[in-house]
Amino acid sequence: MDYDYLSGYNHLSCALEAEMKEKGDYDTCVLCGVETPYKRNVHIDLRVGYIEGAGQLCKACYDGGTDRRQLLVPVSVINNTPNDQELGARIRQIYWETYGGDVQDLETYRRGKNKF
């Protein structure tokens, strides 16, 4: 849409205003549809829970949407492990030690009897 120089009418701003009236002033969560605290004209860099390519998430969906736990692997473990297979096993062991789990579960996993 362009500015119509003959009539002095800006079609783009008219369309944007109509869209704002139709959808309301506030953005909605792309997952659950709840109205978020962010107005549509707030820049995405100033928002919490905005995912580029997807849209705005409400606090509940953003906080609960992904598992954000992290595992710290010491550099010495990486440097002192001779191959990737052993490194993977060592990282799995650090995971079990950090987040719990039964030693029997770890042994079952190592034998390949159970897929996690």
Could you report the per-residue pLDDT of 66-75, keeping only the tens digit for each?
A: 665 677 888 9
From the list 42, 34, 40, 43, the residue with the least C-alpha distance to 16 is 40
Q: Contact, 27 vs 37, CB < 8 A?
A: no
pTM higher than 0.85? no
pLDDT, tens only, 47-105: 999 988 889 999 888 887 666 567 788 899 999 998 889 998 888 888 888 877 655 55
Q: Helix, strand or coil for residue 59?
A: helix
Read off the tokens for 23.
């959808």
- Asked if 106 and 93 touch (Cβ cutoff 8 Å), the reply is yes
3-state secondary structure at position 80: coil
